Amino acid sequence: MAPRKVFGIVLAGGEGKRLMPLTEDRAKPAVPFGGQYRLIDFALSNLINSGLRQIVVLTQYKSHSLDRHVSQTWRMSGLLGSYVASVPAQQRLGKRWFSGSADAILQSLNLIYDEQPDYIVVVGADHVYRMDFDQMLEAHIASGAEATVAAIRQPIGLADQFGVIEVDPARPERIARFLEKPTNPQGLADSPGEVFASMGNYVFTASALIDAVLRDGERTDSGHDMGGDIIPAFVAQGAAGVYDLKRNIVPGSTDRDRYYWRDVGTIDSFFDAHQDLISVLPVFNLYNREWPIYNQQVNSPPAKFTRDAKGALGTVIDSIVSLGTVVSGAHVERSVVGPWSTIGSGAKVVDSILFDRARIEAGATVHRAVLDKEVVVEAGAEIGVDRAADLARGYMVTESGITVVGKGSRVRAAQPAEPEPAAQA
């Protein structure tokens, strides 16, 4: 029997409005994460580790940074037709952008026709997780379904935050209903306090997916969305299966991080996901050698921790510090520091995320803040300490109190108030 052929599609065209200002100058999948990664690296690493060797990344909004990252980081040898290719909207069906994730695949069917795969794995580009898609593919083939949706168990009280899958009691491997953010869903038969939430990852029999997006493209009442239109169409035909992430055993995973999956679509969830990385026993473990998360290999020296000019020692506690960074007599705690950053004498960085080439000058304080690339916090300046002051300076502050500073900004120290004139005798 000829070996099956599997094609990977990464949907990377989202704007990421809820991550502003981090997405002001880049697509959401290109947002830095975990010091030296981009969000898309998690999806691509999972596909590569699962054995896929022909993968396209469908891009659209502000894609330059993302396209450059894919071309520089995900170079394949080209042997046996291996590649990871970034593909922008090609306007093959008219002078228009993608109108949804299903329309992105419809407008890119030439890529599928060229490869003629048996199965297609479709994933999002902005979630943090590990998953072996080969195991999901085996389950899809064995089930006889035309479409299979990966699902993670979530507390029933959080159901209104997800697309929720309800299974057929007579055939629990098949989807009976696909509900978008329901307020009163049914719990699982084996765990009434939980629901199946869609992970946004799918496996399709190739011919079935082609037929589905062609039919959807003819509809005028469709949003042309994978989760909102394509999957419900398969459900209506009784042809959609569910794959419980608990069936997926990733090599090197631990009981603590085995079923980790986080949608980092907001600043708060983005911040929380970073906190998951830095605990002594991390909720998501970046140090799994058996299932690595690949990233761009930058020619950088190791991180360096030094005394300052006066001989004062710095401290780094429960933090990730990337290559090229120098911490000199400063205090860093519960933070993630990106490549080539500098943190000067007496500075404090606590509960924060610093992107590449941040510069925290002597005596500055950064607290519960996210600093984009090349942000400078001047000597003695504070950010994330006084919510009202941050808002007055034009910075975005979330309801939970996380301050976000846009790319290339300079946070200046407060100017001392001028003394009032002396009263006249």
Q: Write out the binding residues for alpha-D-glucose 1-phosphate.
A: 163, 180-181, 198
Q: Which strands form 353-354's sheet, in the order they lie side by side?
A: 320-321, 336-337, 353-354, 369-371, 403-405, 396-397
* Residue linked to tokens 């195991």: 135
User: Which DSSP helix (H) or strand (E) runs through 354?
Assistant: strand 353-354
Residues 86 and 75: their CA atoms lie apart, in Å, by: 11
Which of 62, 56, 58 has its CA nearest to residue 74? 56
User: Are 274 and 34 contacting, i.e. CB atoms less than 8 angstroms apart?
Assistant: yes
Binding residue ranges: 163, 180-181, 198
Q: What share of the chain is helix, strand, coil (3-state, %, to 5)?
A: 25, 30, 45
| Burial group, residue 172, by CB count within 10 angstroms (0-12, 13-18, 19+) | middle
Residues 358 and 343: their CA atoms lie apart, in Å, by: 8
What single-letter DSSP state applies at residue 230?
I
Q: Are strands 382-383 and 396-397 parallel, antiparallel or unpaired?
A: unpaired
Residues 112 and 129: their CA atoms lie apart, in Å, by: 26
Phi, psi of 346, deg, nearest 5: 75, 0
Q: What value, to the nearest 5°, has the Cα angle with vertex 285 and ends 284 and 291?
A: 115
User: Are 337 and 300 contacting, i.e. CB atoms less than 8 angstroms apart?
Assistant: no
Say how far residue 189 (Cα) sits from the centre of its chain.
31
Other C-beta atoms within 10 Å of 91: how many? 11
Token pair in block for residue 266? 């907001």
Other C-beta atoms within 10 Å of 421: how many? 6
3-state secondary structure of 231: helix
CA distances from 47 to 13, 52, 188, 210 (A): 18, 6, 29, 21
Other C-beta atoms within 10 Å of 307: how many? 12
Residues 371 and 133: their CA atoms lie apart, in Å, by: 34
